Amino acid sequence: MSLPFDFADGVLHAERVSLASLAEQFGTPLYVYSRAALETAYGAYANACAGRRATVHVAVKANSNLAVLNVFARAGAGFDIVSAGELTRALKAGASADKIVFSGVGKTADEMRTALRVGVKCFNVESIPELDRLNTVAGELGLRAPVSLRVNPDVDAKTHPYISTGLKSNKFGVAFEEARATYRSAARMKHLEVIGIDCHIGSQITQISPYLDALDKVLELVTQVESDGATIHHIDVGGGLGIRYDDEEPPEIGAFVRAILDRIAERGHAHREVLFEPGRSLVGNAGVLLTRVEYLKPGSAKNFAIVDAGMNDLARPSMYQAFHGIDAVVPRKGAASVYDIVGPVCESGDWLGRDRSLALEAGDVLAVRSAGAYGFVMSSNYNTRPRAAEIMVDGDQAHVVRARETVEQLLAGETILTA
């Protein structure tokens, strides 16, 4: 099989392991990841960066499973985090602290202390109040915090409004027209060291042009900032490259990386380190969610296939109206019907797919494709539903990389009143 998730002998496989056998052995709902797919996607970034001053920092928020992160750490990746919890995960997965970038708009003082003590590569700072707090915290520890400013270039990434981050109306970053003055303020703070500049304009971006538009503005700003006396050692171009869920045609990873690096070189900045922070494009198509059909419910307006995975397991469809391909793991040869694939959660927004043509019977297992990014990490225990198990497939071997939760575990931290 040439694809990480492909059919062999009439059954959908992850690499060389039958997904039907995984559903039988480990139950559903079940997240399944392909190690080969993770390594292939990372290799596309790493190969395009080879010979250039460029590094890859995996966005932990997209998929924070320790085994997934460890695959990237073994390959030499850095990491992009947005919380102290993600910092702990990255370190536990084998990351080097000096290859970790701490992003996020709402860092607490405790999170700053933790990151300073372990020695992260850089803090991507998003406001003057955050600069003030970081300067104070670093001073209390007798340290200097390495910082870059996340600049908001007011560029439309042409993506879903919930995952657009580079417009004036978004909460992220320092406004472009205020960035130069903010750099001056940072340079005056005795416990901060300005080392870079950061820009992240959104997620699921399927064109290169918005990146280049933002990059041109950032490079102009770099020249201005350095004329004021600061030194910009690195340019962080963020992440956000899209994947194919349905009929999207995102650029190939290597072409995207080369376009960014070539533009930076053309503008005379090839001597600076360039940081990429991919997430979805590394893990999105490296995972599927398996779910079993509980009931088929025909209706006058809609036919429903009610499955055991719901919006608490995969939030993207109900949250973003996102499309995920859905296939029967063992396709039937009978006549297909059109179904809405819906879950058991007590919400009308609990759906995984609309108007899907499938030949189904109760008990069949479905694979929800492209579920490796923002799948398990966004799952919840709504309706007191334990979260799914996670499996990593490596060739013909399947490894449990997160055990299924139990209701007893969900209740363990709770108490009732004693009077």
The pLDDT of residue 1 is 38
The pLDDT of residue 160 is 45
Distances (CA, A) of 95 to 41, 69, 252: 18, 8, 27
The pLDDT of residue 164 is 45
pLDDT grade, residue 8 (50/70/90)? Answer: very high
Q: Binding residue per annotation — 374?
A: yes
Position 224 pLDDT exceeds 90? yes
Q: Which residues contact 169 (CB under 8 A, 6 or more apart)?
A: none
Q: Is-contact 5 12, C-beta < 8 A?
A: yes
pTM, two decimals, is 0.95
Q: Binding residue per annotation — 251?
A: no
Instruction: Of 13-27, 139-153, 201-215, give the lowest mean pLDDT range.
Output: 201-215
Calculate mean pLDDT across residues 47-72: 98
- Computed over every residue of the chain, the mean pLDDT equals 94
pLDDT grade, residue 207 (50/70/90)? Answer: very high
Render pLDDT for 249-277 as a digit per residue (tens, 0 to 9): 999 999 999 999 999 999 999 999 999 99
CA distance 208 to 263: 11
Render pLDDT for 145-157 as a digit per residue (tens, 0 to 9): 999 999 988 776 5
The CATH number given to 104-276 is 3.20.20.10
Name the pairing type of β-strands 54-59 and 30-34: unpaired
- Reading the block at residue 75, the tokens are 């390959």
Q: Is-contact 269 53, C-beta < 8 A?
A: no
Render pLDDT for 360-372 as a digit per residue (tens, 0 to 9): 999 999 999 999 9
The pLDDT of residue 157 is 56
Calculate mean pLDDT across residues 366-382: 98
Size (the chain), residues: 419
**5-33+284-411 and 104-276 have identical folds:** no
Position 162 pLDDT exceeds 80? no
Q: What is the dihedral of CA 262, 263, 269, 272, to 10 degrees?
A: -60
Q: Binding residue per annotation — 277?
A: yes
Q: Is-contact 381 307, C-beta < 8 A?
A: no
Calculate mean pLDDT across residues 221-235: 96
Query: Is 346 an annotated catalytic residue?
Result: yes
Q: Residue 258's closest CA among 35, 49, 82?
A: 49
Q: Binding residue per annotation — 347?
A: yes
Render pLDDT for 168-200 as a digit per residue (tens, 0 to 9): 546 568 998 999 999 999 999 999 999 999 999
Q: Binding residue per annotation — 295?
A: no
Q: Binding residue per annotation — 139?
A: no
**Percentage of the chain lying above the pLDDT 70 cut:** 95
- Reading the block at residue 10, the tokens are 């009439």
The pLDDT of residue 168 is 52
Position 46 pLDDT exceeds 50? yes
Q: Is-contact 352 324, C-beta < 8 A?
A: yes
Architecture (CATH level 2) of domain 5-33+284-411: Beta Barrel (2.40)
Render pLDDT for 291-341 as a digit per residue (tens, 0 to 9): 999 999 998 899 999 999 999 999 999 999 999 999 999 999 989 999 999
CA distance 38 to 51: 22
Q: Binding residue per annotation — 279?
A: yes
Instruction: Of 4-8, 29-33, 163-167, give the lowest mean pLDDT range.
Output: 163-167
Residue 360, judged by CB atoms within 10 A of its CB (0-12, 13-18, 19+), counts as buried
The pLDDT of residue 365 is 98
pLDDT grade, residue 26 (50/70/90)? Answer: very high
Query: What are the sequence ranges of the domains in the chain?
Result: 5-33+284-411, 104-276
The pLDDT of residue 390 is 99
Name the pairing type of β-strands 365-368 and 17-18: unpaired
Please tell me which residue in 49, 122, 199, 346 is annotated as part of the active site: 346
Q: Residue 362's closest CA among 339, 382, 381?
A: 339
The pLDDT of residue 155 is 78
What is the 3 state secondary structure string of the chain?
Answer: CCCCEEEECCEEEECCEEHHHHHHHHCCCEEEEEHHHHHHHHHHHHHHHCCCCEEEEEEHHHCCCHHHHHHHHHCCCEEEECCHHHHHHHHHCCCCHHHEEECCCCCCHHHHHHHHHHCCCEEEECCHHHHHHHHHHHHHHCCCEEEEEEEECCCCCCCCHHHECCCCCCCCCEEHHHHHHHHHHHHHCCCEEEEEEECCCECCECCCHHHHHHHHHHHHHHHHHHHCCCCCCEEECCCCECCCCCCCCCCCHHHHHHHHHHHHHHCCCCCCEEEECCCHHHHHHHEEEEEEEEEEECCCCCCEEEECCCCCCCCHHHHHCCCCCEEECCCCCCCCEEEEEECCCCCCCCEEEEEEEECCCCCCEEEECCCCCCCHHHCCCHHHCCCCEEEEEECCEEEEEECCCCHHHHHCCCCCCCC
CA distance 370 to 326: 9
Q: CA-based Rg of the chain, rounded to a whole angstrom?
A: 23
